[in-house]
Every structure is written in structure tokens, then in C-alpha cells.
Structure 1
Amino acid sequence: MPLLDMPLEKLLSYEGRNPRPTDFDEYWERALAEMHSVDPAVELVPSSFQVPYADCFDLYFTGVRGARIHAKYVRPKNVEGPHPAIVQFHGYSGSCGDWADKLIYASLGYSIVSMDARGQGGSSEDTGGVKGTTLNGHIIRGLNDHEDNLLFRHIYLDTAQLAGIVMNLPEVDENRVGVIGGSQGGALTIACAALEPRVKRLAPIYPFLCDYKRVWEMDQAANAYAELKTFFRNFDPQHKREDEIFTRLGYIDLQFLANRIRGEVMMGVGLMDAVCPPSTQFAAFNKMTSPKSYEIYPDFGHEGLPGFSDKTIEFMLGL
């Protein structure tokens, strides 16, 4: 079988290359304290898009640093008592997408909320100095500033805050919440379940934002990771700060948050993934201590994985 990365038996024992900051745990406890200090000022606005069996809302809340975050929320009608809910995240620079792809869960009697990551392709604000989108370069935002100003820190906190908001809705059973997403969405799925450990089940697909140094050493700092190369070329062309930079990236490296997850995990992986190399994904997966499984697609890269959406629905039916 052709290989882009390690063989599966090595992937299953790979522990990652990126350095872990010595104050990593304190960093995230400080971040969560900031998140909990924010009044989310949740607002539900009925959408012009509606279907007979569900109510559709634009949901807004205030995240850290005052950003107003947008999500689409679909709530099934005629469901008695608190019911399960799904939290969904999108790929890098994208948006929460159309209402249509949320309706399958509403038809099953589940609520579903899908978040626009701040400053990307949807309606959520990035308050880092401008109004509107900042779209790309989010990995390197804050690398030359205090580590508390890393943009993905704020985005990770948005995911946990949204999950907590959903769990507090009267129609939702807080003990039956699942999280899904692919690529950046897979990364945010891991971040959400790590920072909001009440998440019951999560199904990340080829998660982004793991093991940055491994990406660099594989010469895969391209596509979604291209900004790593851009940063070094512009701000550290001789790599004199290489150890410092990768250690700082460690604050937003999901392999180091993965052991906080308490929910059951099902991860989808394409072994020919040149965008988010499989070893980087397994650096996070191997640190998870909760019940976990993986679905391997040997000939697939960073693309649709046949049957995985069906497997995800079946998995979430166990909530």
C-alpha cells in the first residue's frame, strides 16, 4: 500500500513532536476563567428559513474579547422533554453553511447548532482591530504577542462556550450532547470536548491544528498550514527563534488538550492526507484516555470519506 506518512502500527504509538509549554495547564485554566467571566448575552432570532418539523434560529452570543459570535440553531418541533443536541464546526476559512445540512438531525429529534468561527467565512466577529472578516492567518495571529492573544485560543473558547450555552437550553438534555466536524471542524470538535468535558460523544474527521512541528518536518507547511512557512520567511528567516515559536504554538496544539476529553471518540482518518498528515492526527488521538475508536480510509486524503457521515449519525444515535 502506498504511504504518505507512517504505517498504521507506528501511527498508533506516535506521541508527537511539538514541544509542550511548561505552563500549558495554567494557560488553559486562565483562559477558561476569562471565558466564564463573560456575559454571553445569548440572542435567538427566528430565521426567514423555516421547515414544517423544526424551528430555525440565528443564535448570537458574546465570546472572549467582546466578539459577537454567530451560529445557526435548528430545534425540532413536537419532541417531548429534553432531547439530545449536536454542535457542529466547519473547515478553515469556511462558514457554518446552509440550513439544509442540519435538517437530518432535526428530523431525528435532535437540536443542532453550527458555529461560524470568528473572522472567517461567516458572520462571527474578529475583534482584533478590524470589523468584519480576517479570513486566514489565524494560526500565526498572536505569535509575536502575549500568548493569551493567540487567536485560536479565543476560537477554542468559543466552541466550549457555545456547547455550554446549548447544554443550558431548556429543550436540551445536557448529558446527551455530541460534537462533529472535519479538518478545522475536527480540530474544534476536539477543543470543544476538551474544554467542555460534559460532551458525551465526538466524531472529528482528519483534525487540523495538531503537532505543528511534525507538519514542518514533513515539509507539509502548505495548503492550510502554509502560514507557518510564511511566518518564518517574514519574521524568523534564519530560524533563530524556532524552538520558541513551536513552543508558543504548543498552547494551541490540540494533542495537549486531548487528555481532558471525557466523551467517547470516533475519529475518521485518510492515510493519504497531505493537508493534515495522519501522524499529526494520531498525536492527539493517542493522548485521549476516554473510550475511542478510529475509522481508517487507506486510499483517501483530505476529502470526503465514503460512509463516514452515516457512521457519524449511527454513533450519535447512541447519545
Structure 2
Amino acid sequence: MALFDLPLDELRTHRSDSTEPEDFDAFWNKTLQQARAYQLDARFEPVDTGLSTVQVYDVTFAGFGGHPVKGWLLLPAGASEPLPLIVEFVGYGGGRGLPHEHLLWASTGRAHFVMDTRGQGSAWGGGGTADPVGAAPAYPGFMTRGIDAPENYYYRRVFTDAVRAVEAARSHPLTDAARTVALGASQGGGIALAVGGLVPDLVAVAPDVPFLCDFPRATTLTDRHPYREIGLFLKTHRGRSAQVRRTLSYFDGVHFAVRGRAPALFSAGLEDQTCPPSTVFAAFNAWPHEDKAIEVYDFNDHEGGGPFHEAEQVRWLRSYA
């Protein structure tokens, strides 16, 4: 696929048409308050993986509704004092996978927490976290589960889990809460954006080709999944577009980006049909912190910079954590 979105000079000034709900902050404050009514109950069970350079813990904590959420915590072997903390969120359809798939950040001398995404982990990177909440009729996938109302929407549970994941990771004695970074790619990047807007004291945020941004544009610009799930839902449920737009407005990465308080490193692929570059730039341009950058991969689709961007993240994060 060649370039299909706005020219790069227009991307650098593009702003979303997504309308922020007046009660956006009240909605999320109430959601997190309800989640924190449950004990976090973070448990770290050592795992013998046969790996000699990292120490691995199988983690369980209470997420949205007090539901158990899984994760991995990887520490450099022999760590004896609190370390900078990377909290990572994974892409659409994936789960936390296996510990040996997550060796990069512990290899840099940091603590690395990988959150399992509830209900996912059956398309790739196996998961072990159920989503016990029922929902109204939805198109197969996750994008329309509970889309009838913000209170029921699937990503309300996921974003709440993500905030609680930061709290769980920070509770371990070998992590330094004051040096916490949120990052992820695709869906993981969208979750990292939400965390960046909901957790005020992160030292850095790194959303890589982030998903879940600028819904009004994304759902009408690309016919690639997962955004297409929303269009297919509305193809059947005629006349519900306004209701769906309202629900999605509470979960749009652009509105979380406006609340970002940390330095940020974004990335975009100019041939990315899954997360069109204009949707990524909409979030980047909304991020208010003056210390921000975006890496642009001009001939790449949703793979973005891949390992090249990981290397850039390693370099960039030396200044923060």
C-alpha cells in the first residue's frame, strides 16, 4: 500500500474532530475510584524459567471489578535495589505470552512488567486473563463489546486494568515508582496513552503506532480490522452511529493525550492502514508536554519501525528512566 493519508506536512498540524464529553474526567475518576474499592492484592510468584539473566514473577492483581488480571514481572538477575520500571501493554488479540519473549527491557537493567489483556491472548501471545463481564450484541472481536454505553464498554475494563497494573508493578520492592514508564505498540500504544492521561506521575510514555485514537476519522478512513469491526456493527445496527460515537469518545486516545504530563515518544508508519498516520498524529499533536517527539517510518505499514524503533526507545529512555 502506497501513501493514502494526509501529506506529512499536514499530518504535523492535524487535529481530531472527536468531541470530548463534558463529564470525561468525572467518568474516569468514578471508574478508578470504584476499582480502588477492591484491594489490589498484587501477588508475585517466582517462576523457574531456566533463564539465567532474569528473575521472573508470575503476577496476579485485582483489576476492574476486582477481577484477577495476570502479568509478568521480569527483573535483571541479582537485582537488589529498586529499578526504573517499564510497564508494557500488548497488541490486539495478544496476551502476555511467555517470559522469554520479553527479555529486552530487563536486559537494559530495568524492571519490566507485562500486563495480560483481559479476554485476549488467543490470536497470538497466549493469555490467561478472562473477561467475566457480559455485554450486549457485538461484532466478533473486542471493539464493539458493550458499545451500547460507556459504562459497559470493553475498554473501560481494559484501561482500568492498565492503571491497576501500574499500581501493582509499583508495589514490588524492587521497582522504583518514581521512575515509571508506560509503553506499548498498536493496542498497547493506545492503552499506554490512556495510562498517560490517567496516571499523573509517569516519567515517560512511549506509544508506538498507537491504536484507539481519533475514532471519528479512523472508522471512516480505513476498512482494515480492528477499526472495521465498528463499521460492520453499524452496518447491521442502523441508526446507532451517534450512540456509538458517544461511547467511543470516552475512550479516544486523543482525549487522554490532552492530559499527558510526561515526556513522550510516538511513532507512525505513513503506509499504516491499521492505525492511519493521521490518527496517530492527532494524539501526538494533542499531547501538551513540550518534550515530545515522533519517529516517522515513511515506507512502513503497521509494523512501523519494528526493531529499529525499539532501539530508538532504548536510546531515548536513557534520559528518563
Task: Give TM-score, length-normalised by structure 1.
Answer: 0.91
In structure 1, the residue matched to 2:313 is 312
What is the deviation of 1:136?
5.4
CA distance in 2 between counterparts of 1:129 and 1:24 reads 24
Give CA deviations for 1:118-150 in whole Å, capped at 9, x if unaligned.
0001111201149xxx99532211122x42121
Give CA deviations for 1:42-62 in whole Å, capped at 9, x if unaligned.
111222314223211110011
Q: Choose 295-304 or 93-102, whichever is displaced more.
A: 93-102
Q: Choose 264-273 or 96-105, whichever is displaced more.
A: 96-105
1:138 and 2:142 are equivalent in the alignment: yes
What is the deviation of 1:99?
1.7
In structure 1, the residue matched to 2:129 is 124
In structure 2, the residue matched to 1:31 is 31
Give CA deviations for 1:251-296 in whole Å, capped at 9, x if unaligned.
1111111122212111111011101111111111111111210001
Which secondary structure state, in structure 1, belongs to the residue aligned with residue 279 of structure 2?
helix
Which secondary structure state, in structure 1, belongs to the residue aligned with residue 165 of structure 2?
helix
Does the C-alpha gap of structure 1 residues 217 and 105 become closer, same or farther in structure 2, counting only changes over 3 Å?
closer
In structure 2, the residue matched to 1:222 is 224
What is the deviation of 1:197?
1.9
The residue type paired with residue 88 of structure 2 is Q
In structure 2, the residue matched to 1:114 is 114
Which secondary structure state, in structure 2, belongs to the residue aligned with residue 113 of structure 1?
strand
The CA RMSD over aligned residues, in Å, is: 2.0
1:148 and 2:148 are equivalent in the alignment: no
Q: Choose 30-39 or 269-278, whichever is displaced more.
A: 30-39
In structure 1, the residue matched to 2:5 is 5
Please say if residues 156 and 191 of structure 1, whose CA atoms lie closer than 8 Å, have aligned partners that are also in contact: yes
- Partner of residue 206 from structure 2, selected from 197, 203, 218: 203
Does the C-alpha gap of structure 1 residues 152 and 61 become closer, same or farther in structure 2, counting only changes over 3 Å?
same
CA distance in 2 between counterparts of 1:258 and 1:193 reads 7
Matches within 5 A, 1:222-301: 222-236=224-238, 240-290=239-289, 291-301=291-301
- Partner of residue 159 from structure 1, selected from 157, 162, 180: 162
What is the deviation of 1:101?
3.4
Does the C-alpha gap of structure 1 residues 34 and 277 become closer, same or farther in structure 2, counting only changes over 3 Å?
same
Please say if residues 55 and 77 of structure 1, whose CA atoms lie closer than 8 Å, have aligned partners that are also in contact: yes
In structure 2, the residue matched to 1:104 is 104
CA distance in 2 between counterparts of 1:135 and 1:199 reads 35
Task: Give TM-score, length-normalised by structure 2.
Answer: 0.91
In structure 1, the residue matched to 2:124 is none
Which secondary structure state, in structure 1, belongs to the residue aligned with residue 169 of structure 2?
helix
Matches within 5 A, 1:64-103: 64-103=64-103
Count residues in correspondence.
311
Gaps of 5+ in 1: none
Please say if residues 65 and 127 of structure 1, whose CA atoms lie closer than 8 Å, have aligned partners that are also in contact: no
